[in-house]
Amino acid sequence: MTTNTNNRSPAEQGLWLLIVGLAAWMIPGAGHFLLRERKRGIILFIVITGLFTIGLYVGSIGVVDWVTGRIWFYAQILCSPAVGMIASITKHGGYPTYGRPCDVGQIYTGIAGLLNLLCVLSAVYMAYCGRGEIVGQEEQDDV
Q: Tens of pLDDT along the chain (143 residues)?
A: 444 455 778 888 899 999 999 999 999 999 999 999 999 999 999 999 999 999 988 888 888 888 888 899 999 999 999 998 888 888 777 676 666 667 888 999 999 999 999 999 999 999 998 876 554 555 544 44
Taking alpha carbons only, the member of 105, 108, 114 closest to residue 75 is: 114
85 CB burial (10 A radius; 0-12, 13-18, 19+): exposed
Q: Is 112 left (phi over 0), alpha (psi -120 to 50) or beta?
A: alpha
22 CB burial (10 A radius; 0-12, 13-18, 19+): middle
Q: Tell me the pTM.
A: 0.80
